Amino acid sequence: MRKYGRFKALIACAVTALVAVGCGSMNESNSSGGGAAAADDTFVVGMSADPPHLIRLFLGDVQVGLVGLAMEESLVTVSRDKKIEPQLATSWEMKNPTTYVFHLREGVTWHDGKPFTADDVVYTFENGLGINSGTASLKDMIKSSKAVDESTVEVSLKSPSGAFLAMLNPMSFTILPKHIYDGTDLEENPANRAPVGTGPFKFESWESNRITLVRNDNYWGDKPKYAKVVFTVLGDPTARALALKKGDIDYINSYDVTFEAIKQLDEDPNVKLDIGRASISMKMFPFNTRNEILAKPEVRHALFQAINRDFISKSVFGGYFPPGHAPLPDGHWANSGEVDFDKLYPYDPKAAEAALDAAGYPKQANGIRFSLTHRYEASEPGGEKVAEVIADNWKAIGVETKVVQDDAEVFRQEVFSKHNFDTYTINIASGADPAIGLYRRYTCDNDQNAVFGNATGYCNKSLDELFLKANSANEQAERTPLYTEAQKVIAEDLPTSILVQVKYTEAIRANLTGIEGFFHPGEVVLLDWSKIGPPAA
Amino acid sequence: MLSWLVRRLAYVIPLIWGVVTLTFILVSLAPGDIVTATIGDYPASEEYLAQRRAELGIDEPFPIQYLKYLARVVQGDLGFSFANRQSVLPLVIDHLGATLILVVAATLLAVLIGFPVGMWAATTRFRTIDTTINVLSLIAFSIPTFWLALMGVLVFAINLGLLPTQGINTIGYSGDTFGQAWDMFQHLLLPAAALAVPETALMIRMTRASANGVLNSGFVLTAVSKGLPRRQIIRRHVTRNSLLPVVTVLGYTFGTMVGGSVLVEKVFGWPGMGSLLYDSVQRRDTSVVLGIVVVVAVITLLVNVITDIVYGLVDPKVREATIR
């Protein structure tokens, strides 16, 4: 009897079809570049998620910032050396400690051709603040604003504040076009998904997971070298890294470069990793002072001293993230470097054991002094391994650690609402100004800081006073000594310690030109679009 | 026929209600809401959070929210996505097309490869071929789609450089209609294949089991004793009868494939419902999650109704019993 050639023929057909397609695409990519990267005048950015909309003023989301800030601008911005410099305001002066006068750049037009004027600025101050919780404090700070003439705006504050100008940087504040938003429901305005800005790029289209912007040829500043920039979503970190390896995308912003991706891309000559930038984020390690054991500062000192931060830096983070030395990152303008955890609390398990003995917590018969609960959020990079090291280090000094991993929402509730923890880790950015980033982590004023604030139960009125003094001083030179004092108090009381300084890592195709100037050393979504360009011919 | 169809469709309504209710409860049980999820790491007071909740209408008690939602769904309004600032229905439909392309392509691959291979395994005279197919399909069924997708990218896109790594088409590609279709086809191949592998394996095993059953049935024995050539028996009697369970499985796998596409879409940056669903769960954007579930439920149930109709066409016995 014959075999059933028919089915075999079918299978053969299917296999041939698959192979043919494979070969076909190979020929294609060899000849015309089909299936390969986009055209030379297009810059492609791979992102981890779709932004909900594109207005930075309304949401402090990374993707919103990445796409939105290519189109939207503020009065001022932060320069590469972290100084406030002009953007839509060319200059400003203080009439008195609570009154700022801004002189606006003239001849600037919105992307739809309408002129940019003082009315837009006043409109934004009056209507646009408070939608994003990040601008709520700015809203509280401002008493009134008015347009003196077409290109002059006067802003009165309720009290003097050295942080005011820093809070106007585009990371948290951008100007809305009054003619688009006036009289509408700001949050439902269709322009939120098709912004009209003044920046170097204009919105072109948003098709499902791909956002296309085109160069603004009327831009007031240096124009971008690329004619188009496309933001596309690749949710999986490994797939994102692979797409960069292949050249299907040109750039992954550091927020979206996971630690695993760094390892994956490190060896690739076609990809440039930019790791050496100043850190603005710290892996913080707070203690719950409501626990009567942890209420004693000497116990907190001892527990911190028992953790091998150097080992965490080297083994968990491959040496990319240096150990934390102070409440503020190394090289931060407000960090004088006088506080150094390495000198104050060097890794020394023996000293830690002695301190715990002295504090009245000797080892019991089973070799354990007491046990603590440590929490971390599941998506925190390195959170799990750091927890392992902590538990291991503490076990060596007779402290038992129960490690709990939480989903993001559970974590927020357990830590920030219910205070159901003894220690936890979290990556926190110091923010545009220590008045925002540092203050919230240590202040007694917890009602203002329900989420991601000070969950430790620690309260020191004199520290709060120091912060407020530093906040209201106007010059960095005046403020730094005050923050140094504050850092000393924190280091002494240690309600929160710092394990490592999280360095952001940009990943970009190595053959592009102008990479250096493209990145901002402090603010990771502030990109200089006039610098980056296609590979040199 | 018509009254049967109406009765069959009437069953769909309580089913959809059940799916909506269950999903609504499950989504409400998840900790956190859109306000805490979108607030980011900025300080925010409880008053601010409460005010936002009131604005979004998510501060009402659960039964009220549920009834309001049901009332809206009945009117064909799936609600408003607070995260996307857009109505849910157009948002979901916008993403539906890409997912359908992916799922239909994967289904085609699964049927075109799975059915013939399954038949081959069932009818071959060589035990080794049967065993090999059996073992291979068991392995294929057990490989996690996610891993397979990444391996596909690594091998075919990075190492061999044959196919693109991500997206539904080349960014900025401008060609004629044929060029664009070819471009999309290249982008479709890896994700569709990754999605199809476990389904193909399932198809092979179903077909093989079903054909084995048919081969042992009385009418095949009769045909053999009549002296019909084996080739003709297989073609006329076995193939057609083996199709029945396969059609059933097809209708059933459609739903699981839409589910499976979440991961595949994530790996390949495929702009479908899977990506939307994932992001919406992350953002606790309840109305989108519910909207997608409703749309997928409706489609799956419709596919099942179609399956029943096809079933009738394939099997006269079923046609006799149901369609009068």
Q: Which of B44, B172, B173 sits opposite A451 (nearest CB)?
A: B44
Q: How far apart are CA A195 and CA B151, in angstroms?
A: 39
Whether residue B140 contacts residue B200, with contact meaning beta carbons closer than 8 Å, is answered with: yes
Q: How far apart are CA B298 and CA A313, in angstroms?
A: 52
Q: What is the mean pLDDT of residues B95-113?
A: 90
SS3 sequence of A354-411: HHHHHCCCCCCCCCCCEEEEEEEECCCCCHHHHHHHHHHHHHHCCEEEEEEEECHHHH
Q: How far apart are CA B54 and CA A2, in angstroms?
A: 75
Give the span between the Cα atoms of A138 and B43, in whole angstroms: 12
Closest to A300 measured CA to CA, from A85, A438, A496: A496
Q: Cα A246–A249–A255 angle (5° rounding)?
A: 115
Q: Based on the domain organization, do B174 and B194 belong to the same domain?
A: yes
Helix, strand and coil percent figures for chain B, each rounded to 5: 80, 0, 20
Please give the CATH number for the structural domain made up of A76-181: 3.90.76.10
Neighbours of A180 (CB within 10 A): 18
Partners of residue A230 in chain B, C-beta under 8 Å? 171-172
Neighbours of B30 (CB within 10 A): 14
How many Å apart are CA B260 and CA B198, to the nearest integer?
10
CATH of the domain at B207: 1.10.3720.10
Residues B56 and B168 in one domain: no
Of B45, B125, B153, the CB nearest to A239: B153
Q: Are B288 and B92 in contact (CB under 8 A)?
A: yes
Number of Cβ within 10 Å of residue B150's Cβ equals: 18
| pLDDT computed for residue B38 by the predictor | 62
* Chain B contact present for A49, CB below 8 A: yes
Nearest to B149 by CA among B137, B138, B163, B134: B163
Residue of A nearest to B82 (CA): A52
B204 touches B117 (CB < 8 A): yes
What ipTM was assigned to the predicted interfaces of this complex? 0.72
In this structure, the answer to whether residues B100 and B220 fall within a common structural domain is yes
Domain residue spans of chain A: 2-71+199-278+504-518, 76-181, 281-502
Q: A309 vs A34, A319, A321, A456, A501, CA distance in Å? A: 49, 11, 11, 21, 11
Average confidence (pLDDT) over B234-255: 81
* pLDDT tens track, chain A, 537 positions: 344 444 444 444 444 444 444 333 333 333 333 344 556 789 999 998 888 789 999 887 788 999 999 999 999 998 877 788 999 999 999 999 899 999 999 999 999 999 999 999 999 999 998 777 667 778 888 999 999 999 999 999 998 888 888 889 898 899 999 999 999 988 888 899 999 999 999 999 998 789 999 999 999 999 999 999 999 988 888 889 999 998 999 999 888 887 778 878 888 999 998 865 655 688 999 999 999 999 999 999 999 999 999 999 988 888 888 899 999 888 888 888 899 999 999 999 999 999 999 999 999 999 999 999 999 988 787 889 999 999 999 999 999 999 998 877 778 778 887 889 999 999 887 666 777 778 878 888 765 445 567 888 899 999 989 988 888 887 788 889 999 999 999 999 999 999 998 887 889 999 999 988 898 877 778 899 999 999 987
What pLDDT, on the 0 to 100 scale, is given for residue A475?
Answer: 79
Mutate to test the interface with A, among B41, B96, B125, B137 (most CBs of A within 10 A): B41
Q: Look-up: residue for tokens 């705006």?
A: A153
| Mean pLDDT over each residue of chain B, to the nearest integer | 82
Does the CB of A267 have a partner CB in chain B at under 8 Å? no
pLDDT for B167 beyond 70: yes
Q: Which of residues 128-147 of A touch B (CB under 8 A)?
A: 132-134, 136-137
| Tokens found for residue A150 | 């077409």
Which 8-state DSSP code applies to residue A133? G
User: For residue A500, what are the β-bridge partners?
Assistant: A283, A323
Considering only CB atoms, A451 lies closest to which of B39, B149, B230, namely B39
**Interface residue A239 vs chain B (CB under 8 A):** yes
Distance from CA of residue A426 to its chain's centroid? Answer: 13
List the structure tokens of A467: 């912060």
In total, chain A counts a number of residues equal to 537
Q: What is the pLDDT of residue B220?
A: 84
Q: Which amino acid is at A262?
A: I
Note down the domain range covering B28: 2-87
pTM (two decimals): 0.76
Shared domain for B262 and B141, answered yes or no, is: yes
What is the structure's pLDDT at B273? 87
Tokens standing for B36?
A: 């805490």
> B194 and B139: one domain?
yes
Which amino acid appears at position B250 of this protein? L
Computed on alpha carbons and rounded to an integer, the radius of gyration of chain A in Å comes to 27
Minimum CA–CA partner of B272 in chain A: A208
Q: Measured between CB atoms, does A53 come within 8 Å of chain B?
A: yes
Query: Which CATH class name applies to A281-502?
Result: alpha beta
pLDDT for B15: 85
Q: Are the Cβ atoms of A44 and B84 closer than 8 angstroms?
A: no
Q: How far apart (Å, rounded) are the C-alpha atoms in residues A120 and A124? A: 6
Q: What is the pLDDT of residues B24-55, one digit of tens each?
A: 888 877 776 777 666 655 556 677 777 777 77
Is residue B122 domain-shared with residue B199, that is, in the same domain?
Answer: yes
Name the CATH architecture for the domain at A2-71+199-278+504-518. 3-Layer(aba) Sandwich (3.40)
Shared domain for B79 and B99, answered yes or no, is no
Q: Answer whether residue B324 shows pLDDT above 50.
A: no
Residues 3-22 of A with CB under 8 A from B: 3-4, 6-8, 10-11, 14, 21-22
Geometric angle at alpha carbon B165, from B162 and B171, rounded to 5°:
105
Q: Which residue of A has its CA nearest to B123?
A: A4
Candidate from B36, B85, B120 with C-beta closest to A53: B85
CB nearest A133 (choices: B44, B154, B157): B44
The burial of B305, by beta-carbon neighbours within 10 Å (0-12 exposed, 13-18 middle, 19 or more buried), is given as: middle
Q: Locate tokens 């269709």: which residue?
A: A190
Which of B87, B113, B128 is the last residue in one of the domains?
Answer: B87
**Alpha carbon distances (Å) from B302 to A74, A326, A392, B10, B249:** 52, 62, 56, 11, 15
* Chain A, chain B: beta-carbon pairs less than 8 Å apart: 215
Tell me what percent of the residues of chain B surpass a pLDDT of 70: 93
User: What is the number of other CB atoms lying within 10 angstroms of the CB of residue A355?
Assistant: 20
- B52-71 pLDDT tens trace: 777 777 777 888 888 888 88
CA distance B241 to chain A (A): 16
Q: How much of chain A is helix, strand and coil, in % rounded to 5?
A: 35, 20, 45
For residue B284, pLDDT beyond 80: no
Query: Considering only CB atoms, which chain A residues are within 8 Å of B43?
Result: 133, 137, 440, 448-453
If one counts the domains in chain B, the total is 2
Same domain, B78 and B210: no
What is the total residue count of chain B? 324
- Which one of B65, B87, B109 terminates a domain? B87
**Pairwise CA distance, residues A95 & A116, whole Å:** 24
The residue from B67, B87, B107 where one domain ends is: B87
Do residue B84 and residue A451 have CB atoms under 8 angstroms apart? no
Q: Do A233 and B165 touch (CB under 8 A)?
A: no
Chain B residue whose CA is closest to A34: B183
User: Does residue A63 sit in helix, strand or coil?
Assistant: helix
